[in-house]
Amino acid sequence: MPDKFDQLRTQITACQLCRAQFATTATRHQPRPVFWLSQSAPILIAGQAPGAKVHESGRPFDDRSGDRLRGWMGIGRDLFYDQTLISVLPMAFCFPGYDAKGSDLPPPEACRHSWHGRVLAAINPPRLTLLVGGYAQAYHLPDEKSASVTDRVANWRAHAPRIFPLPHPSWRNTGWIRKNPWFETDLLPRLQSAVRTVLKVGETG
């Protein structure tokens, strides 16, 4: 028989909680939960929600944002998609869709209320957690819930080396990165060092 964790994964995969909600969006898509979980992965990436491309592929961060995130971490796709090493737990498992103006809708709260507590209770405490974007940061850093993403990321030293708040790696945030050069000069080297330590890998070429 499947163990309790496998049963939980099966239940999440079959989740249809937001079916009616998605039917009212401009995309009128069906639920397709996308996550990447194991009980013992030493790195947890707490993200926001799948985008349209990830909704199609069924693999988290399988897009340009993922390329940028892997660059920030200093690893390639081989390590990133090794479930023994890295888990991905987005705040919403499904693509939220677009509104009538073509803008991204926020992650539905149903995932957070229904699944996150159960998942976090079922996995081993990660040695390194990446909080990607404001929604994940507000959930995992409740004491900083009212702070801005910029303020949370700027306060990264208070949480390193176990937790790193990060901006979303969307290419829409290129301007933010240019305005905050300390992110690349100070935070990213420490993040990459923490990733290498946890994964026990050398410098990437």
Which CATH number do you get for residue 69? 3.40.470.10
> Which range is least confidently modeled, 7-21, 63-77, 100-114, 119-133?
100-114
Residue range 130-178, pLDDT digits in tens = 999 999 999 999 999 999 999 999 999 999 999 999 999 998 999 999 9
- Orientation of helix 188-199 relative to helix 64-73, angle to 10°: 80
- Cα dist. 203→7, 13, 116, 197 in Å? 38, 36, 33, 11
Number of folded domains that form the chain: 1
Could you give the CA distance from residue 163 to residue 109 in angstroms, rounded to a whole number? 23
Summarize the confidence of residues 96-112 as an average pLDDT: 90
pLDDT grade, residue 204 (50/70/90)?
A: very low
- Specify if 41 maps to a domain: yes
- Specify if 65 maps to a domain: yes
Q: What is the pTM of this model?
A: 0.93
Summarize the confidence of residues 14-27 as an average pLDDT: 94
Give the Cβ contact number of residue 28 at 10 Å.
Answer: 9
CB distance 3 to 48 below 8 Å: no
Could you give the CA distance from residue 172 to residue 176 in angstroms, rounded to a whole number? 8
- Specify if 72 maps to a domain: yes
Long-range contacts: 12-18, Cβ < 8 Å, 24+? 12/93, 12/115, 12/119, 15/93, 15/94, 15/111, 15/114, 15/115, 17/108, 17/110, 17/111, 17/114, 18/94, 18/108, 18/110
- Specify if 13 maps to a domain: yes
Q: Residue 105: give the domain boundaries.
A: 4-198
- Specify if 177 maps to a domain: yes
- Specify if 205 maps to a domain: no
What local confidence, expressed as pLDDT, does residue 2 receive?
62
Task: Name the average pLDDT for the chain.
Answer: 94
- Specify if 68 maps to a domain: yes
- Specify if 153 maps to a domain: yes
Residue with tokens 């919403």: 92
Summarize the confidence of residues 30-35 as an average pLDDT: 94
Residue range 55-99, pLDDT digits in tens = 999 999 999 999 999 999 999 999 999 999 999 999 999 999 998
Pairing of strands 163-166, 86-88: unpaired
> Quick one: what percent of the chain has pLDDT higher than 70?
97
